[in-house]
Homo-oligomer: A and B are copies of this chain.
Amino acid sequence: MSRLSSLDQAKQTFPDWVAGKQQRIEDLLDLCLPNANIAPTRLHSAMRYSALDGGKRVRALLCYAAAELCACEPKIADAAACAVELIHANSLVHDDMPCMDDDDLRRGKASCHKQYDDATALLVGDALQSLAFEVISQAQIYADSQLNASQQMSLVYLLASAAGSTGMAGGQGIDLASAGKSLSQTELETMHQMKTGALIQASILLGAISAPKSDLATIKQFAIIIGLAFQVVDDILDVEADSLTLGKTAGKDADNNKPTYVTILGLDAAKQHARALYEQAINALAPLGEQAQRLRELAGYITQRSF
Protein backbone atom coordinates (compact mmCIF):
# COMPACT_ATOMS: atom_id res chain seq x y z
CA MET A 1 0.00 0.00 0.00
CA SER A 2 1.34 3.40 -0.88
CA ARG A 3 2.79 5.41 1.98
CA LEU A 4 2.88 8.83 0.33
CA SER A 5 3.62 11.78 2.56
CA SER A 6 1.21 14.66 2.65
CA LEU A 7 3.65 16.69 0.49
CA ASP A 8 3.75 13.96 -2.18
CA GLN A 9 -0.05 13.79 -2.17
CA ALA A 10 -0.34 17.53 -2.79
CA LYS A 11 1.87 17.25 -5.90
CA GLN A 12 -0.36 14.64 -7.54
CA THR A 13 -2.85 15.61 -10.23
CA PHE A 14 -6.45 15.21 -9.07
CA PRO A 15 -7.16 12.20 -11.34
CA ASP A 16 -3.99 10.50 -10.06
CA TRP A 17 -4.98 11.26 -6.47
CA VAL A 18 -8.47 9.84 -7.05
CA ALA A 19 -7.12 6.71 -8.75
CA GLY A 20 -4.59 6.20 -5.95
CA LYS A 21 -7.18 6.50 -3.22
CA GLN A 22 -9.65 4.27 -5.08
CA GLN A 23 -6.97 1.59 -5.28
CA ARG A 24 -6.09 2.12 -1.63
CA ILE A 25 -9.67 1.61 -0.44
CA GLU A 26 -10.07 -1.42 -2.71
CA ASP A 27 -6.94 -2.97 -1.17
CA LEU A 28 -8.14 -2.18 2.34
CA LEU A 29 -11.62 -3.64 1.80
CA ASP A 30 -10.03 -6.72 0.27
CA LEU A 31 -7.94 -7.05 3.42
CA CYS A 32 -10.73 -6.60 5.97
CA LEU A 33 -13.45 -8.67 4.25
CA PRO A 34 -13.22 -12.35 5.23
CA ASN A 35 -11.78 -14.55 2.52
CA ALA A 36 -14.40 -16.29 0.37
CA ASN A 37 -13.00 -19.73 1.24
CA ILE A 38 -13.73 -19.21 4.96
CA ALA A 39 -17.11 -20.64 6.10
CA PRO A 40 -19.81 -19.57 5.48
CA THR A 41 -18.35 -19.39 1.98
CA ARG A 42 -21.50 -18.28 0.18
CA LEU A 43 -22.05 -15.39 2.58
CA HIS A 44 -18.41 -14.30 2.42
CA SER A 45 -18.37 -14.58 -1.34
CA ALA A 46 -21.53 -12.43 -1.50
CA MET A 47 -20.06 -9.86 0.90
CA ARG A 48 -16.97 -9.53 -1.29
CA TYR A 49 -19.10 -9.40 -4.44
CA SER A 50 -21.12 -6.53 -2.97
CA ALA A 51 -18.35 -4.47 -1.40
CA LEU A 52 -15.39 -4.91 -3.78
CA ASP A 53 -14.69 -3.71 -7.28
CA GLY A 54 -17.37 -1.11 -7.61
CA GLY A 55 -18.41 2.47 -7.31
CA LYS A 56 -16.52 5.71 -7.39
CA ARG A 57 -15.78 5.46 -3.66
CA VAL A 58 -16.86 9.08 -3.21
CA ARG A 59 -17.33 8.58 0.54
CA ALA A 60 -13.82 7.21 1.02
CA LEU A 61 -12.39 10.00 -1.16
CA LEU A 62 -14.11 12.64 0.99
CA CYS A 63 -12.81 10.96 4.12
CA TYR A 64 -9.22 10.93 2.84
CA ALA A 65 -9.48 14.52 1.57
CA ALA A 66 -10.68 15.69 5.00
CA ALA A 67 -7.75 13.93 6.69
CA GLU A 68 -5.36 15.46 4.14
CA LEU A 69 -6.80 18.89 4.89
CA CYS A 70 -5.57 18.33 8.43
CA ALA A 71 -2.10 17.48 7.06
CA CYS A 72 -2.47 13.79 7.88
CA GLU A 73 -1.15 10.82 5.97
CA PRO A 74 -3.91 8.65 4.48
CA LYS A 75 -3.28 5.74 6.85
CA ILE A 76 -4.80 7.72 9.69
CA ALA A 77 -8.12 7.72 7.82
CA ASP A 78 -7.94 4.14 6.51
CA ALA A 79 -10.28 2.61 9.11
CA ALA A 80 -12.82 5.42 8.78
CA ALA A 81 -12.76 5.30 4.96
CA CYS A 82 -13.17 1.56 5.00
CA ALA A 83 -16.00 1.65 7.54
CA VAL A 84 -18.00 4.27 5.66
CA GLU A 85 -17.73 2.31 2.40
CA LEU A 86 -18.91 -0.84 4.22
CA ILE A 87 -21.95 1.00 5.59
CA HIS A 88 -22.65 2.37 2.11
CA ALA A 89 -22.39 -1.15 0.60
CA ASN A 90 -24.75 -2.45 3.32
CA SER A 91 -27.33 0.17 2.36
CA LEU A 92 -27.03 -0.56 -1.38
CA VAL A 93 -27.50 -4.31 -0.91
CA HIS A 94 -30.60 -3.82 1.26
CA ASP A 95 -31.98 -0.99 -0.92
CA ASP A 96 -31.89 -3.21 -3.99
CA MET A 97 -33.89 -6.02 -2.36
CA PRO A 98 -37.35 -6.83 -3.75
CA CYS A 99 -39.14 -5.45 -0.68
CA MET A 100 -37.34 -2.10 -1.13
CA ASP A 101 -36.40 -0.70 -4.56
CA ASP A 102 -36.31 -4.12 -6.25
CA ASP A 103 -33.35 -3.27 -8.48
CA ASP A 104 -31.53 -5.91 -10.52
CA LEU A 105 -28.54 -3.79 -11.47
CA ARG A 106 -25.90 -2.22 -9.27
CA ARG A 107 -22.49 -0.85 -10.15
CA GLY A 108 -22.83 -2.34 -13.63
CA LYS A 109 -23.51 -5.90 -12.48
CA ALA A 110 -26.34 -7.98 -11.04
CA SER A 111 -27.37 -6.72 -7.60
CA CYS A 112 -26.57 -9.00 -4.65
CA HIS A 113 -29.99 -10.62 -4.26
CA LYS A 114 -30.09 -11.35 -8.03
CA GLN A 115 -26.60 -12.84 -8.09
CA TYR A 116 -27.17 -14.81 -4.86
CA ASP A 117 -30.64 -14.80 -3.22
CA ASP A 118 -32.76 -12.62 -0.95
CA ALA A 119 -31.83 -14.33 2.31
CA THR A 120 -28.13 -14.07 1.52
CA ALA A 121 -28.52 -10.39 0.59
CA LEU A 122 -30.24 -9.73 3.92
CA LEU A 123 -27.36 -11.34 5.84
CA VAL A 124 -24.76 -9.61 3.63
CA GLY A 125 -26.11 -6.18 4.55
CA ASP A 126 -26.24 -7.04 8.25
CA ALA A 127 -22.73 -8.48 8.26
CA LEU A 128 -21.26 -5.53 6.31
CA GLN A 129 -22.68 -3.19 8.93
CA SER A 130 -21.15 -5.21 11.79
CA LEU A 131 -17.84 -5.30 9.94
CA ALA A 132 -17.81 -1.50 9.62
CA PHE A 133 -17.88 -1.14 13.42
CA GLU A 134 -15.42 -3.98 13.88
CA VAL A 135 -12.97 -2.19 11.56
CA ILE A 136 -13.26 1.04 13.57
CA SER A 137 -12.68 -0.89 16.79
CA GLN A 138 -9.40 -2.05 15.25
CA ALA A 139 -8.54 1.33 13.77
CA GLN A 140 -5.25 1.60 15.61
CA ILE A 141 -3.98 -1.38 13.59
CA TYR A 142 -4.56 0.47 10.33
CA ALA A 143 -3.27 3.79 11.61
CA ASP A 144 -0.19 2.40 13.38
CA SER A 145 -1.72 3.37 16.75
CA GLN A 146 -1.96 7.06 15.83
CA LEU A 147 -5.67 7.03 16.72
CA ASN A 148 -6.64 6.92 20.37
CA ALA A 149 -9.64 5.12 21.85
CA SER A 150 -11.45 8.37 22.40
CA GLN A 151 -11.20 9.25 18.69
CA GLN A 152 -12.39 5.75 17.81
CA MET A 153 -15.45 6.21 20.04
CA SER A 154 -16.25 9.46 18.23
CA LEU A 155 -15.99 7.59 14.92
CA VAL A 156 -18.39 4.90 16.16
CA TYR A 157 -20.86 7.48 17.41
CA LEU A 158 -20.76 9.52 14.21
CA LEU A 159 -21.06 6.55 11.88
CA ALA A 160 -23.77 4.80 13.91
CA SER A 161 -25.92 7.91 14.13
CA ALA A 162 -25.42 8.64 10.40
CA ALA A 163 -26.47 5.08 9.51
CA GLY A 164 -29.40 4.70 11.89
CA SER A 165 -33.03 5.74 12.15
CA THR A 166 -32.28 9.44 12.45
CA GLY A 167 -29.86 9.20 9.51
CA MET A 168 -29.69 6.95 6.47
CA ALA A 169 -32.19 4.27 7.53
CA GLY A 170 -34.57 7.01 8.67
CA GLY A 171 -34.31 8.77 5.30
CA GLN A 172 -35.11 5.51 3.55
CA GLY A 173 -38.12 5.17 5.84
CA ILE A 174 -39.39 8.61 4.81
CA ASP A 175 -38.63 7.77 1.17
CA LEU A 176 -40.79 4.63 1.40
CA ALA A 177 -43.63 6.59 2.96
CA SER A 178 -43.40 9.34 0.32
CA ALA A 179 -43.96 7.21 -2.80
CA GLY A 180 -46.94 8.60 -4.67
CA LYS A 181 -47.14 11.69 -2.44
CA SER A 182 -46.11 15.22 -3.24
CA LEU A 183 -43.44 16.74 -1.01
CA SER A 184 -42.43 20.36 -0.58
CA GLN A 185 -38.80 21.23 -1.32
CA THR A 186 -38.20 21.49 2.44
CA GLU A 187 -39.65 18.04 3.09
CA LEU A 188 -37.60 16.63 0.21
CA GLU A 189 -34.45 18.20 1.63
CA THR A 190 -35.11 16.74 5.08
CA MET A 191 -35.53 13.30 3.54
CA HIS A 192 -32.35 13.56 1.46
CA GLN A 193 -30.40 15.15 4.28
CA MET A 194 -31.06 11.93 6.19
CA LYS A 195 -31.03 9.38 3.37
CA THR A 196 -27.87 10.43 1.55
CA GLY A 197 -26.58 13.60 3.18
CA ALA A 198 -25.97 12.12 6.64
CA LEU A 199 -23.48 9.52 5.39
CA ILE A 200 -21.77 11.94 2.97
CA GLN A 201 -21.37 14.42 5.83
CA ALA A 202 -20.17 11.66 8.13
CA SER A 203 -17.55 10.61 5.56
CA ILE A 204 -15.96 14.06 5.74
CA LEU A 205 -16.22 14.35 9.52
CA LEU A 206 -14.82 10.85 10.06
CA GLY A 207 -11.69 11.87 8.14
CA ALA A 208 -11.39 15.10 10.12
CA ILE A 209 -11.92 13.37 13.48
CA SER A 210 -9.24 10.80 12.60
CA ALA A 211 -6.76 13.69 12.43
CA PRO A 212 -5.21 14.87 15.69
CA LYS A 213 -6.42 18.44 15.09
CA SER A 214 -9.06 19.89 12.77
CA ASP A 215 -11.33 22.91 12.28
CA LEU A 216 -14.52 20.88 12.68
CA ALA A 217 -16.99 23.78 12.50
CA THR A 218 -15.81 24.91 9.05
CA ILE A 219 -15.53 21.36 7.75
CA LYS A 220 -19.02 20.57 9.00
CA GLN A 221 -20.46 23.53 7.10
CA PHE A 222 -18.89 22.23 3.87
CA ALA A 223 -20.04 18.69 4.67
CA ILE A 224 -23.69 19.72 5.01
CA ILE A 225 -23.69 21.55 1.67
CA ILE A 226 -21.95 18.79 -0.24
CA GLY A 227 -24.31 16.23 1.29
CA LEU A 228 -27.25 18.10 -0.19
CA ALA A 229 -25.52 18.72 -3.53
CA PHE A 230 -24.82 15.01 -3.88
CA GLN A 231 -28.51 14.13 -3.92
CA VAL A 232 -29.51 16.94 -6.28
CA VAL A 233 -26.92 15.64 -8.75
CA ASP A 234 -28.12 12.07 -8.25
CA ASP A 235 -31.67 13.10 -9.11
CA ILE A 236 -30.49 14.92 -12.25
CA LEU A 237 -28.39 11.96 -13.39
CA ASP A 238 -31.30 9.58 -12.77
CA VAL A 239 -33.14 11.49 -15.50
CA GLU A 240 -30.27 12.35 -17.86
CA ALA A 241 -27.88 9.41 -17.84
CA ASP A 242 -28.51 5.91 -19.19
CA SER A 243 -28.22 2.75 -17.09
CA LEU A 244 -24.87 1.84 -18.65
CA THR A 245 -23.28 5.12 -17.52
CA LEU A 246 -24.92 5.01 -14.09
CA GLY A 247 -24.20 1.32 -13.45
CA LYS A 248 -27.68 1.12 -11.93
CA THR A 249 -31.15 1.26 -13.43
CA ALA A 250 -31.80 4.81 -14.70
CA GLY A 251 -35.19 6.50 -14.42
CA LYS A 252 -36.19 4.42 -11.39
CA ASP A 253 -37.41 7.38 -9.36
CA ALA A 254 -39.85 8.53 -12.04
CA ASP A 255 -41.01 4.93 -12.56
CA ASN A 256 -41.60 4.56 -8.82
CA ASN A 257 -43.48 7.86 -8.74
CA LYS A 258 -41.02 9.21 -6.20
CA PRO A 259 -40.60 12.93 -5.66
CA THR A 260 -37.12 14.17 -6.66
CA TYR A 261 -35.45 17.56 -7.12
CA VAL A 262 -36.22 17.24 -10.83
CA THR A 263 -39.92 16.51 -10.33
CA ILE A 264 -40.27 19.34 -7.81
CA LEU A 265 -38.03 22.03 -9.34
CA GLY A 266 -37.89 20.97 -13.00
CA LEU A 267 -34.65 19.93 -14.71
CA ASP A 268 -33.22 23.41 -15.38
CA ALA A 269 -33.86 24.73 -11.88
CA ALA A 270 -32.42 21.51 -10.40
CA LYS A 271 -29.22 22.10 -12.39
CA GLN A 272 -29.10 25.70 -11.26
CA HIS A 273 -29.56 24.50 -7.66
CA ALA A 274 -26.63 22.08 -8.07
CA ARG A 275 -24.48 24.93 -9.41
CA ALA A 276 -25.44 27.20 -6.51
CA LEU A 277 -24.63 24.48 -3.96
CA TYR A 278 -21.22 24.00 -5.64
CA GLU A 279 -20.49 27.73 -5.20
CA GLN A 280 -21.62 27.59 -1.56
CA ALA A 281 -19.39 24.58 -0.93
CA ILE A 282 -16.36 26.36 -2.41
CA ASN A 283 -17.11 29.46 -0.33
CA ALA A 284 -17.39 27.37 2.82
CA LEU A 285 -13.86 26.10 2.23
CA ALA A 286 -12.37 29.60 1.77
CA PRO A 287 -11.08 29.94 5.37
CA LEU A 288 -9.14 26.69 5.01
CA GLY A 289 -6.77 27.89 2.26
CA GLU A 290 -4.57 25.73 0.06
CA GLN A 291 -4.86 22.58 2.12
CA ALA A 292 -8.53 22.25 1.20
CA GLN A 293 -7.58 21.77 -2.46
CA ARG A 294 -8.68 18.11 -2.64
CA LEU A 295 -12.04 18.89 -1.02
CA ARG A 296 -12.53 21.69 -3.61
CA GLU A 297 -11.69 19.32 -6.41
CA LEU A 298 -14.05 16.70 -4.97
CA ALA A 299 -16.85 19.28 -4.76
CA GLY A 300 -16.35 19.82 -8.49
CA TYR A 301 -16.08 16.08 -9.16
CA ILE A 302 -19.37 15.43 -7.37
CA THR A 303 -21.43 18.30 -8.77
CA GLN A 304 -20.08 19.12 -12.21
CA ARG A 305 -21.22 15.87 -13.79
CA SER A 306 -24.68 17.40 -13.74
CA PHE A 307 -24.02 20.94 -15.03
Contact = CB atoms under 8 A, between A and B. Distances in A.
Interface in A81-111: 90-91, 94, 97, 99-100
A283 interface: no
A174 interface: yes
A156 B130 CA distance: 9
Nearest to A162: B130
Interface in A234-279: none
Interface in A151-194: 152-154, 156-157, 159-161, 163-167, 169-170, 172-174, 176-177, 190
Contact of A156 (B119, B136, B177): B136
Interface residues of A, number: 55
Contacts of A154: 137
Nearest to A91: B126
A131 interface: yes
Given A129-B130, A131-B165, A152-B153, A174 B39 contact: yes
A120 B160 contact: no
A294 interface: no
